[in-house]
Amino acid sequence: MRLLFLSIIILASMLVNAQKTINTEEILKNGIKINFTEDGKNFAKIGLGAQIWARFSEFNEKTSPSYGDKRSSEFDISLRRSFFSIYTKFDRFTVFSMIGVSSQPNNTATTTGKNAEFFLYDMWGSYRIIDDHLTLGMGLNMYSGLSRYSSATSSKALSADVPFVACPDLTKGSQNARHLGFFATGKFGMFDYRLTLAKPFNAENIKYNVTKDKDGKITTIPTTNTAYEIASNNLAVKGYFTMQLWDKETHEMPFKAGTYIGKKKVLNFGVGFDYTPESTITFNTNGTETLNDKFHLAADVFMDLPLKNGDAITFYTGIFKFDYGQNYYLNYNVMDKHKQLGEPQQGTGIAINSQIAYLLPSKSAIKLQPYYTFDYKNYEALNDIALHHNMGLNFFMAGHKAKFGLEYQLRPYFSGANFDSYKSMGIFKMSFSI
């Protein structure tokens, strides 16, 4: 960590000494960039950014904060994300590192005795072996498989946050959707690919109570015929393959944008998978246990279409088939301080994520983009289908570099396995990055 901070300070001082007057338009376009060669192909870029939320949330039923307050809703302000990054390219080498804080609500601070979690998002290096066709790398990275938004960039997301349904290991087995492993990526004409061999982080779903007799037979078990996450020593294999019919997206970085704000014409069709052998466990009624493979499949389509008046349409739909094992189910939400905002997120079954947005015509730098996103989750552990709705409006002041967002959410509250009602949430988001 100290080395990374020192690197940021050194690079920033180099930039100031090399350029007495800073071109703000250039920084908004290319970030803080130091060229090592005159052609600009060898460089270092310093990035920083933050996403700040003001949120009004309606609580789930039959829950209350730990301090005993019986309110049914709450207004809060939180630091959703903040980061510092260094991206370096030299000849065929690329090195990327990013550190930051993820999810700091008001009950996480030095004064509360629970400090904000400051950690590595990314730390990886790669080497371009065959032009655009093959690049190999390793480290803590987000070159994930399965779908487009399994490697989403939050700073360029369409809605207030990335779609969690696309990240099946977000809270178990990964570090903020990153993993330690090897990756290969490249292009062949309109075809783009990425493959990953990863070592999952150790994870357990619950601290289940299991006792065995002297013969090793289970005598006390948790809920039977239900899969639970376990720490797996096996390697995970992930892949994502796209056919890019219009403008080509870069594969030099793993992150995928949610909207190009009319600056790129994109039509991509993708398929992917995510496989980890023997990574969940099921306890059977006869006292035995079964290890299950996690095997997920997905297919998606993404379109960003600029129109003649400076307006644009953004569209995405992803279909997911998740298999964690029998009746696996995970309920959670981000910055859920008192466990009152949870909703069905991951589970064995079928899920769909759809997004659509329209960028309004504008002759100024300020642009408006209303949008709607939708989650459909049909998980075998639930008796009812879970539907989630987001409606919002983006205000772009300087593209994705400086923007505001308003979003209204209807999230499904489940009482046990049954749908009970919708709970609402309103989010005001301020986001900036360079």
Question: What residue numbers bound the domain in which 234 lies?
Answer: 2-433
Backbone region of residue 221 per phi and psi (left: phi > 0; alpha: psi in -120 to 50; beta: other values): beta
- Residue identified by tokens 């990374």 is 4
Cα dihedral across residues 261, 265, 269, 272: positive or negative: negative
How do the pLDDT tens digits run along the chain, 434 residues long? 454 455 555 555 555 555 545 566 666 666 788 888 888 889 999 999 999 999 999 999 876 555 556 778 999 999 999 999 999 999 999 999 999 998 888 888 777 767 777 889 999 999 999 999 999 999 999 999 999 999 999 999 999 999 999 999 888 889 999 999 999 999 999 999 999 999 998 866 445 556 666 666 655 666 788 898 888 889 999 999 999 999 999 988 999 999 999 999 999 999 999 999 999 999 887 777 899 999 999 999 999 999 999 999 999 999 999 999 999 999 999 888 878 899 999 999 999 999 999 999 998 889 999 999 999 999 999 999 999 999 999 999 999 999 999 999 999 999 989 999 999 999 999 999 98
Backbone region of residue 407 per phi and psi (left: phi > 0; alpha: psi in -120 to 50; beta: other values): beta
At 229 the pLDDT is 87
Q: Specify the number of domains making up the chain.
A: 1
At 210 the pLDDT is 63
Q: For residues 258 and 46, what is the distance between their CA atoms, to the nearest angstrom? A: 22
- We report the CATH number of the domain holding residue 260 as 2.40.160.10
Cα dihedral across residues 55, 61, 67, 69: positive or negative: positive
* Residue 372, CB-side half-sphere exposure with 13 Å CA sphere: 2
Q: For residues 306 and 312, what is the distance between their CA atoms, to the nearest angstrom? A: 4
Whether residue 318 contacts residue 338, with contact meaning beta carbons closer than 8 Å, is answered with: no
